[in-house]
Amino acid sequence: MSAADAGKSGGSAGMRAVTPPTPPTAKAEADTTTATTNEELRRTSSYIQYVEFARSRRRFTWAPGSGKAVEDWLYREFTGDAPSPSTSVLRFVQSLGEKGRRTHSTGERAGGDDKVTNLSCSALPNLSVKLTFTLDSWDNNIYNQPLSDPLVILSRVIVDSHKLLGKLGVPEIQFYNFLQQIQTRYMHSNTYHNSFHASDVLYTLNIMVSQPVLHDWLTPLEMFVMLVAAIVHDVGHDGFNNDYHNNTKSPIALEHEFTSPQENNHLKITLMIMAMPSCNFLDYLPEGSIGRFKEILVGLVLGTDMKNHFGLLGDVQCLIGDHGPDFRTWPRTDDTFMKLARFLLHCADISNPSKPTDLSKKWTHNIMEEFFRQGDAERARGMPISPMCDRDACSVPLAQIGFINYIVLPTFKLLAQLLPGLEQPALGNIIRNLEYW
């Protein structure tokens, strides 16, 4: 994406230090015969990556006056505690329950006499408007299609390609209404966090889940929630990162208790739309699936807070260390699925440097302009300007080099172990983009 794929939670005002992930205890280091818990392994892995970054940055030649800002941004953007749902989000999650579940075949609520309005598919979009690319190339450009806003059509085409609505009993009209509502709540005034970014993340994640080894491993419900999470993961984003909202005590920071305000707000908007009778496809899911859908969705969207980066990588590294890179040999638990799914969505979210250079440059321009607009707002408020947000001082090439070297490249090397079929297109583009910058 750009020096910033991290536009969600980036640098905070001021120059306060960021506390690194907790290192392993001395006892854990000394007692090699004691079985280490998965959580300890995750923390250890995160800490090792943090230390390696700290060491390697000393060998990096920064341009005078630019290095501190890039270093500060990388520390603040990609280290921090794992996010959690706010009280506001939890209320919405609890309000969407199994009771009143509808059946697609009868249009009646399961366990009740309250009938829903008969739905007509006449309002569905004309899918004869074709995308100008297929769904199987990593290098496709989401901008190269005939639609002014591709999110609804692309979402329909991708979900239909896996026949997920039929497998799960979800009516087309309910899901289409949901997509329309989501699309209208992406802010087109944003240069980066808009429906084109959501479309690109969806497209990229679909390439991953379409790899035969992963496609056959996922259940239809799991694949469906992953794709929905990509569609909604930045809905309502206003172009300012989490630290800006927290520092200005914005309404969403206050509502979500200063905890991942953007990600929690994306969830709140999504759940509010799902609660609309015309958009509530949850009611039609197989019995017992609604709770699982909500659990996965909340975990995935919260996982897009970039401060969770090292934790996500650490989880997957631990699983590879214990069971090898073939995830089909991993324990098939909800926890294992969640760790892999969060990692894959994160990969899609920071994938812009893994795309062809001309496209990657366009994403870079878009995200940096959004960063600079935040810097302009901070300057107007008399606040310290966040790292990478000062249009008069930021070095875009240095930001990209740091982002690729320390965040994107290690992430996609890990992805290549899981999905070897993506190694050449993704890593090849990353190396070429690194050389460009």
Report the distance separating Cα 106 and Cα 44, nearest Å: 53
Helix/strand/coil for 165: helix
- C-alpha closest to that of 332 among 225, 212, 217, 229: 217
For 64, the token pair is 């005078």
The confidence score (pLDDT) of residue 78 equals: 76
Exactly one of 104, 162, 188, 193 is catalytic; name it. Answer: 193
Q: Quick one: DSSP state of residue 111?
A: T
Which of the four pLDDT bands, split at 50, 70 and 90, describes residue 208?
very high
At a CB cut-off of 8 Å and minimum separation 6, what does 400 contact?
2, 3, 353, 364, 433, 437
The confidence score (pLDDT) of residue 81 equals: 72
The confidence score (pLDDT) of residue 70 equals: 72
pLDDT single digits (tens) 428-437:
999 999 999 9
Which of the four pLDDT bands, split at 50, 70 and 90, describes residue 419?
very high
Q: What is the DSSP string of 309-375?
A: HHHHHHHHHHHHHHH-S-GGGS---HHHHHHHHHHHHHHHHT-GGGS-HHHHHHHHHHHHHHHHHHH
The confidence score (pLDDT) of residue 82 equals: 72
Which of the four pLDDT bands, split at 50, 70 and 90, describes residue 188?
very high
The distance of Cα 418 from the centroid of its chain, to the nearest Å, equals 18
Q: In the block, which residue shows the tokens 């800490």?
A: 47
Report the distance separating Cα 44 and Cα 216, nearest Å: 32
Helix/strand/coil for 15: coil
pLDDT single digits (tens) 255-292:
999 999 999 999 999 999 999 999 999 999 998 899 99
Q: Quick one: DSSP state of residue 259?
A: S
For 128, the token pair is 């004869």
Which of the four pLDDT bands, split at 50, 70 and 90, describes residue 94?
confident
Share of the chain above pLDDT 70, in %: 76
Q: In the block, which residue shows the tokens 């979900």?
A: 159
For 7, the token pair is 């536009």
Asked if pLDDT for residue 42 goes beyond 60, the answer is no
Angle, helices 334-349 vs 309-323, to 10°: value is 130
The confidence score (pLDDT) of residue 76 equals: 73
Cβ atoms within 10 Å of 169's Cβ, excluding its own: 15
Helix/strand/coil for 78: helix
Which of the four pLDDT bands, split at 50, 70 and 90, describes residue 72?
confident
The confidence score (pLDDT) of residue 121 equals: 40
Report the distance separating Cα 129 and Cα 145, nearest Å: 10
For 2, the token pair is 């750009």
The confidence score (pLDDT) of residue 68 equals: 63
User: Are the CB atoms for 174 and 281 separated by under 8 Å?
Assistant: yes
Average of per-residue pLDDT across 234-259? 96
Share of the chain above pLDDT 90, in %: 64
Average of per-residue pLDDT across 401-429? 94
Burial classification of residue 353, based on how many CB atoms lie within 10 Å of its CB (0-12 exposed, 13-18 middle, 19 or more buried): buried
The mean pLDDT of the chain is 82
Report the distance separating Cα 243 and Cα 380, nearest Å: 17
Report the distance separating Cα 239 and Cα 367, nearest Å: 9
Asked if pLDDT for residue 96 goes beyond 60, the answer is yes
> Catalytic: 256?
no
Angle, helices 261-274 vs 87-95, to 10°: value is 20
The confidence score (pLDDT) of residue 83 equals: 77
Asked if pLDDT for residue 124 goes beyond 80, the answer is no
The confidence score (pLDDT) of residue 147 equals: 72
pLDDT single digits (tens) 378-404:
999 999 999 889 999 989 999 999 999
Asked if pLDDT for residue 119 goes beyond 70, the answer is no
Helix/strand/coil for 48: helix
User: Are the CB atoms for 387 and 10 separated by under 8 Å?
Assistant: yes
- C-alpha closest to that of 5 among 410, 432, 435, 371: 371
Of 4-13, 61-70, 204-213, 354-363, the one with minimum mean pLDDT is 4-13
Between 327 and 45, residue with greater pLDDT: 327
User: Are the CB atoms for 246 and 261 separated by under 8 Å?
Assistant: yes
The confidence score (pLDDT) of residue 183 equals: 96
The confidence score (pLDDT) of residue 134 equals: 80
